[in-house]
Each structure stands twice: as C-alpha cells, then as structure tokens.
Amino acid sequence: MNEGQEIEEQFELLLTYLKQEQMNEFREVFLNLHIYEQGQFYQSLESEDRKRVYNYLSPKELADMFDVIEEDNEDMKDYIAEMRPNYAAEMLSEMYTDNAVDLLNMLDKGQMAKYLSLMSAEDASEIKELLHYEDDTAGSIMTTEYVSIVANQTVRSAMYVLKNQADVAETIYYVYVVDQDNRLVGVISLRDLIVNDDDTMISEILSERVISVHVGDDQEDVAQTIRDYDFLALPVTDYDDHLLGIVTVDDIIDVIDDEAASDYSGLAGVDVEEVSENPLKAASKRLPWLITLLFLGMSTATLISHYETLVSEASILAVFISLITGTAGNAGTQSLAVAVRRLAVSDEKDNNFSRLIVSEVLTGAVTGAITGLTIFIVVGIWKQNFPLGFVIGMAMLCAITVANLAGSLIPMLMDRLGFDPAVASGPFITTLSDLTSVLIYFNIASIFMGYFT
C-alpha cells in the first residue's frame, strides 16, 4: 500500500469516528497525522463535521493546524465564523502572531474588533502592533515570536533563555543579541551555543555583522535578501535599529508564490487565482482586458483596411499577414518575460538602461535575421517567387526587432515610473506587435511591389 492510499484510509477512518462521535479514537488518529495532513483532512469536511472537530480539539491543537493552512484560502473566514467566538479568539491567540494577523485581515473591522476584545490584553496588543503595518512590507509579514539575548551573559544563561522561549518562538536556529535599549547588535546561531563552553561570554562569540531589513521595506526586497544570503530568518528593525521581529523563510515562500502568481497574472492578462470561481465571476475579471484588447485589435483591422488597394493588387500578401503578426507577437512576449524576470532579479548596478536596450535590439536583429532568412528561402521555393520571399523576410526581420524592443522597453519604462512591469501583459504586447508588424509589412511590400507582382 502506498502512502497516498494509507492517508486516504486514515481520512475515511477519521470521518467515521466523527460521524459516530468517537472522540478519543478520533483524537488518537488525528493527532498522529502530520500537521499538513491534518489541515488537508479538516478542509475536506463539511461544516457540520468541522463543528464536531471544534468539540474534540483544543484551541491550541487547532491553532497548530491553522498555522500551516494556506493563508489565501478564501474559506478561512468561513471557518472562523462557524466557531464559537471565545474558541476562535483563543485559537487566534495560540497561532503565531504573523499568521493570526493574516487571518484577521481577511475579516471585516467589526469581526476583527470582536475577536481582539475576547483575547487577553497581552495577545491582543501583540497582534495590534502588526496590524497597522502596510500590506506587502516587512512589517506585515514578520513575527514577534523570536529569541533574543544580551551580550553580557554567558552561553549557559543564554541556553536557559532559549529553552524557556523555544516553545513559543517560530524559529530558534538564530538567536539575536540586543543591547539594553533593544537595539540589534549581533546574532548567534544555535550551533554556536551548543559547541561553546557554558562559561563563554556571548560578546566573545557573537557575529556583529548582522544583515537586517527595515520594517517598511517591500516584501519582495526581503525575499530577495533571504534568497541571496540563504537565511532561514531575517531580523526586522525600525530606523533606529530597534529589533521589532523576524521574517522566516516559510513566510518568504508564501511571498514568492504570491509575487509569482501576480507576475503571471499580469503577463497572461488574467487572474490565475480564479480557478475555483464560478464562470460568471471569472468572466467578469477577464472581460476588461479582452474588451480593451478588442479595441486595440480594431486598430490593426483598420490599418489593414487602409492597405486594401495594395492587397487587391497582390492578394498573395494576405496569406502571410497572420504569419508575420503571430511570429512578432511571440517574439515580443518572449522579450517581455525575460525583461520582467531581469527586473525582478537584477541589482541596481546591473540596471544599465542604455546597455539593456542595445542588447535587446541586437538580440531582436539576430533572431529576426535568422527567422527572416528562413522564411525567405521557404517562400521563395514554395511560391517560386524569391522577390516575394525577400519582402516577407525583410518584414519578419523588422517586425521581430521592433517587437523585441517593445517587449523589453515597455516593462523597463513602467518600472522606472513606479508601476509593476508585469502589468505590461503578454496579450497587450502581442496586440501592439500586431499593429506595428502590419504597418512594417505593408510599407515594405509597397516599396518592392513591382518586383514580385
């Protein structure tokens, strides 16, 4: 029996215990599951069965599971609503603070205030501290559950602090060293505490070079820092270097996932998170882009009609319109994807605007020349008309070069203006490439008209 079948059988057994109200048997099997598997089982239940779960599990046991459930699950607010208010408030108090904040942010202000009022003053205060930070900043994703010590203590006393705080800390692999005013002055790893003698002073073994982020830094920049340095956690400070919290790698994975989905949504011109939505709601999100692109497409149709006389004199030109516009659109989309990725990972020192433009023009010229030469030979042999092949090849060369330039230039300009470069979506670049490639194609054809007709 494979692991998947075994888990499925356990889920069926748990459901049977729920239906038969066998609490002790349910708890024994459920609490032996991995927390992720607990979350999967919980989310598969109907509302009535979930309400039984609340009677069988303590708020702390449920909080451990909620810490790993996807925070962007739209059903989370429904789960909270079906719990008893006191139970829900205690469960939120037991969660890691950053996860509890994410969950509370899904609720309206009235519900949020209700649950905060039911918590202890200390728990509510910790959550309120994080609630006021702007979305998508280091402050909004940090947790305040970390371990800190002071420099003028021994390894023995530091280990005592660590053991006492380990059960509430989100991670203990890094221990941060602060001064009397809670300013960050160093960091020490769990390994350092283990391998050094008990009487060694923390000041002798701490690392004073601490990489940290400010509370207002963009979450994408925080993710980049953790990726660059391979950290498991990163301290968050205010502008006076007071230690406010830490951002852990599991939160950064969520950030990377969200940013990737956002970028892909922009490139595709559609919300990729709509997979579970009903058709009418999904259509309402897609239509604005489609209608906008429809009108842009009409400009291409109008441009083609402007060259109606040219097409009537050489009807063979109409055969290759979609070939040129499609290839140019594909080239523009490729260039767009590379440009957005480059902007996401490049350092300031690498972001030389002129050099990037020259590089993209040369890339477009090379790919356009090879593609143009290929279609020149194919059309020349196919139609026994090499002058026509030359026109198609030249149009392909110019259209791909322009599309390549547009695909790189537009997102870079948007980034300089402070907009998300991924908004320069693939469909938009494709439609723009259609317009420019048609204009290039017919102008070149009109110049060489006498050679292939």
What structural domains and CATH numbers belong to the chain? 3-138 (1.25.60.10), 148-248 (3.10.580.10), 274-452 (1.10.357.20)
Report the distance separating Cα 246 and Cα 242, nearest Å: 12
| Residues paired with 426 in a beta bridge | none
DSSP state of 134: P
Axis crossing angle, helix 321-345 with helix 426-447, rounded to the nearest 10: 140
Average pLDDT rounded to a whole number, residues 93-107: 89
For residue 344, pLDDT beyond 70: no
pLDDT, mean of residues 284-304: 76
Q: What is the pTM of this model?
A: 0.63
Per-residue pLDDT reduced to its tens digit, 22-75: 999 999 999 999 998 999 999 999 999 999 999 999 999 999 999 888 655 678
Q: Evaluate if residue 265 carries a pLDDT over 70.
A: no
pLDDT of residue 267: 55
Task: Categorize the per-residue pLDDT at 349 as very low, low, confident or very high, splitting at 50, 70 and 90.
Answer: very low
Higher pLDDT: 396 or 270? It is 396
Mean predicted confidence (pLDDT) in 414-428? 67
Q: What is the rounded average pLDDT of the residues 85-102?
A: 92
pLDDT of residue 452: 73
pLDDT computed for residue 105 by the predictor: 87
Closest residue by Cα to residue 29 from 50, 12, 48: 12
| Mean pLDDT on 162-177 | 91
Number of H helices, E strands in the chain: 23, 6
Check if the beta carbon of residue 440 is closer than 8 Å to that of residue 399: yes
Q: Which whole number is the average pLDDT over 423-444? A: 81
Pair 427, 269: CB distance under 8 Å:
yes
Give the pLDDT score at 216.
92
Whether pLDDT at 132 is above 90: no
d(CA 196, CA 307): 82
- Interhelix angle 386-416/426-447, rounded to 10 degrees, is 140
The per-residue pLDDT for range 171-181, each reduced to its tens digit, is 899 999 999 89
Average pLDDT, the chain: 85
